[in-house]
Structure 1
Amino acid sequence: MKMGWLRFSLCSSALLLAGSPLAAVAAPAFTENWAASTSPYFYSYGGSQNTAISNSAQSGTTDGKALQFKLAANPAVGVGGGITKESSALYKYGTFTTRLKTTDCSSQPNTGVVTGFFTYFNDGGDYNGNGLPDNSEIDFEWLCAEPQVIYLTMYTDFAAGAHRRVSRILNLATGTIHSTCYYESFSGNCQALGGNENLPSSIPALAGYNSSTAYYEYGFTWRSNRVTWWIVNPANGQKITLWDYQGPASRIPANGSHYLTNIWHTNDWTPPSRPSATQPPNSARYAYVDWTAYVP
């Protein structure tokens, strides 16, 4: 959730080479099965002790192989101390899907580690003209201290002390929506959302859901006037809509963005049930991606 300014400082050179974020990005559909040692779509960066290894033998995947993220023990705080896979290309609108298993911290319950699957672009430009640098970002995120909870967030702007974002926090194991809010700063209060910004207003529980113990298929469809997040129920193949945001277009990103997955250590973001979950991992932590896909 507090990722934009950190990530921009790491990726500015790549962003400058990627072209205008306002251009209509006509990228073709792809599926990356992570079965080769390198990817034509993604590259890695992060702390020197961390790794992202394709073609890793893993049970529970569709082909017995996965992309393995390794976050070393006692990493530096923030995205830069983690490990990230980022697309070389920019994508604008379409359906972004992955099948992954998030970081397991059950051996150290108060660990502060984030797993993220998202789109992102911030080159410091104010393309929407509202006086803040644009921060185009659509997130799925999980804190390993409470792997039943999913954080869905969408930014349009980000600057130190001020930003624009909408967010939904939910516990899928219990079918509980903790909050659906609009924020203009991290210190500001939640402005509760209703109507077309709060759909569906309730969600079903997914029995036994734990993002760190099994692979699940997640996705979001990004349109100019609507963003819909979902998960596929592995028991029957049906999509469960987690949030179908149909609010003002000004609250939906409009810039072409990179496509990313990462894990990293946070020391100041904790889940509802574990306010002390800020410890650095005391041993290596892992996350796994079965496949990653995009359809324009």
Structure 2
Amino acid sequence: MYRLHIILFAIISLSGCKTDGGFDEPTTTDKDDVVDGPITTDKHETIVRTDNFGTDSSLWDSRMQKGASIIFGDTDSHAEDGHILSLVFPGNPSLGSTDRTSPAFATEVWTQQTLHYGRYEMNVQFAQCANDEEVVSGIFTYYHNGEDLNQNGLEDNSEIDIEYLCGEPNLLWLTTWTDDDNSGFRKKTRSINMSTGEMYQTPDGGEDNYDTEYAGNLTSIRLADFPAAQTYYHLGFEWYEDHVRWFMVMDDQEITLWDMTDQTMVPQHAANFMLNVWHAATHWSTGEAGNYPDNNSTLKVDWFNYQPFD
């Protein structure tokens, strides 16, 4: 595991992370899966770093709605070193399933610099909610500036996702996006039931819709209590030019969750790495309504590491 001291091959401007619940008015969006995240630029430096999430927030920018909080250097005895990043999404029992939906209202942080091909890994405890509610924990890369470099008529969208929905216990969602705008999108998804190993996946030719089909059983995964209370999970992905491989580390053994080898669905543009938590209006696997959470939901991150391949 690449648990290195922070090494920076660029000068990084120092800017603290907001923790007072200040709200940046979001840009509205029609799809729950589309992130109105960082302001994207072409700036890209090679960085090797590990962030164990003490109180220093200088590598990150942030955004949140009123009532939310982002705490660098929060404490948790279940974390490896006792220090974590907490992303708190504010609960509100007066709100319904269609209120404040999408990442436009997320509690989120993102790297100030874009990253590219490499190994991304993190130790996380997913946000929790009641089964009739829905909150998304997002771990992903993201870049979208309105260009259409592949000239397929859609705006390019460089995104690699790990997502967990607390209203759908046991399911983990893995996705790549290459294009997305108001007229359509191209994405490829695998959902894994971490209790049974059952997998559903975007069929070939179905990259322009949300349908998935049964894709077999991942026999190396049988976590009956996933996600277990107060448990951190070591997850990550390796982003190559021609494929993306997601993995999970358990008992010092690395298990491949998906090696996505469709080169046409591999994002090519450098992207910001992001962590967020937000309310989705529906449970993704069933399409049924998911209520706004009554209580706060917190995504906890013990550490993050990025190791470039170039």
Q: TM-score range by the shorter chain?
A: 0.7 to 0.9
Contact preservation (8 Å) 2:125, 2:233: yes
Aligned pairs (5 A) from 1:262-277: 262-272=276-286, 276-277=288-289
Look up the equivalent residue of 2:261 and give its one-letter code: Q
> Where does the alignment leave 5 or more consecutive residues of structure 2 unmatched?
1-30, 93-98
The C-alpha deviation readout for 1:24-81, integer Å capped at 9, x for no partner, is x441210111111x32321110212111101111021111111111111137211121
Number of the residue aligned with 1:157: 179
Q: CA deviation at 1:240?
A: 1.2
Distance in 1, Cα, partners of 2:297 & 2:272: 25
Distance 1:114 1:42, change over 3 A: same
Number of the residue aligned with 1:225: 242
Distance in 2, Cα, partners of 1:92 & 1:47: 29
Contact preservation (8 Å) 2:33, 2:103: no
Number of the residue aligned with 1:185: 208
Greater mean alpha carbon deviation, residues 204-213 or residues 167-176: 204-213
Q: Secondary structure at the match of 1:117?
A: strand
Number of the residue aligned with 1:254: 268
Number of the residue aligned with 2:223: 207
The C-alpha deviation readout for 1:186-226, integer Å capped at 9, x for no partner, is 46x44x69xxxx7x973422333423621010000000011
TM-score for both structures, normalised by structure 2: 0.81
Aligned pairs (5 A) from 1:142-153: 142-153=164-175
Number of the residue aligned with 1:73: 91
Distance in 2, Cα, partners of 1:81 & 1:60: 28
- 1:137 has 2:159 as partner: yes
Contact preservation (8 Å) 2:282, 2:288: no
Q: Secondary structure at the match of 1:56?
A: strand
Contact preservation (8 Å) 1:115, 1:141: yes
Look up the equivalent residue of 1:210 and give its one-letter code: F
> 252, 257, 260: which is aligned to 1:237?
252
Contact preservation (8 Å) 2:128, 2:135: no
Number of the residue aligned with 2:148: 126
Number of the residue aligned with 2:304: 292
Q: CA deviation at 1:4?
A: 5.7
Distance in 2, Cα, partners of 1:294 & 1:203: 28
Contact preservation (8 Å) 1:270, 1:277: no
Distance in 1, Cα, partners of 2:70 & 2:284: 25
Q: CA deviation at 1:180?
A: 4.2
Q: CA deviation at 1:103?
A: 0.9
Number of the residue aligned with 1:44: 62
- 1:100 has 2:124 as partner: yes
The C-alpha deviation readout for 1:70-101, integer Å capped at 9, x for no partner, is 11113721112120011111111101111000
Distance in 2, Cα, partners of 1:246 & 1:185: 18
Distance in 2, Cα, partners of 1:3 & 1:137: 15
Contact preservation (8 Å) 2:32, 2:101: no
Distance in 2, Cα, partners of 1:120 & 1:4: 12
Contact preservation (8 Å) 2:138, 2:164: yes
TM-score for both structures, normalised by structure 1: 0.84
Q: Secondary structure at the match of 2:264?
A: helix
Distance 1:250 1:290, change over 3 A: same
Distance in 2, Cα, partners of 1:164 & 1:270: 17
> Where does the alignment leave 5 or more consecutive residues of structure 1 unmatched?
none
Cα RMSD, aligned residues only? 2.2
The C-alpha deviation readout for 1:214-266, integer Å capped at 9, x for no partner, is 10100000000111001111xx210111001112x221100010100100001
Look up the equivalent residue of 1:245 and give its one-letter code: M
